[in-house]
Amino acid sequence: MDGASLSPSARAAAAWDPDAAGALLAAPSAAALRRVGSELRQLLSDNLPGIIVVPDDTHAMRLHAVIIGPTGTPYENGFFYFRIALPPDYGDSPPRVRLVTTAGGAVRFGPNLYSSGKVCLSLLGTWSGPAWSPALRLSSILLSIQSLMSEQPLKNEPGFESVTDAAKLDSYNAAIRWETLRVAVVDAVARPDALPPALREAVLPTFAALAEGYVDACNRMASLDGTPLKDTLDGTNRGVFAFRALARRVQELAAQVDSGELV
């Protein structure tokens, strides 16, 4: 099946989802291949803070990236895994990017990071604002996604840009912090299939080095244990907080990494 024969809904998905049908079927141009090679070499040599990129083993136009949540945000030190597909005319068209760290489609990590994996960013053509330009590079996309992981992500939600209700902002941040520690830290490390091998190899020692900080973060939030974990926007109950149990799990995993039991 080629892109032209896809249904309208499938074509819409393929516009952003690197795993959608038809996303990587067309042969890339020679110029696109050269550009991808050049940008990947630059990414590997530049060592962008908090960003790890590895090539795909099977397709020259697919990459894998982990963006580590920025310090001082509810995403702090979470390992967020993204799959990236470069279109056959890459340069003229933007990458397609999907967030994989969603607990199997159960967790939305903010207004721009959907549970479906969709990343809403104007440079990707999935959000309003400045569009992709051939002058931009993969590093521009990765840094822009990293910037979505902000101190007050609720303000990225349309209609909430000017919210000043501290209780609402704190509630939203607490939920993001919980899911970051639960899904983007514990699950990312505990599940061997959560990351491609090359990314896992980079993430495990980073997790071990940060383990004490994760435990401290859980202990600081432990006063919320047993209280409802509710969606700030629609009030949906998503269980209860259990930060103390999460801290114990972090300690168990760190010991397994240090002993070589977990690889």
What is the model's pLDDT at position 164? 87
- Residue closest to 99 by CA, chosen among 132, 66, 125, 61: 66
pTM of the model: 0.94
What is the model's pLDDT at position 26? 85
In this structure, what token pair is assigned to residue 59? 């397709």
Q: Do 35 and 91 contact (CB within 8 A), yes or no?
A: yes
Q: Which of 15, 48, 60, 120 is catalytic?
A: 120
Question: What is the pairing mode between strands 62-68 and 51-55?
Answer: antiparallel
**Mean pLDDT of the residues in the chain:** 92
Q: Do 47 and 26 contact (CB within 8 A), yes or no?
A: no
What is the model's pLDDT at position 9? 61
What is the model's pLDDT at position 4? 47
Q: CA torsion sign, 26 to 90 to 121 to 113?
A: positive
- The backbone region for 65, taken as left when phi is positive above 0, alpha when psi lies in -120 to 50, beta otherwise, is beta
Catalytic annotation on 218? no
In the chain, the domains with their CATH numbers are 3-259 (3.10.110.10)
Residue ranges in the chain modelled with pLDDT below 50: 1-4
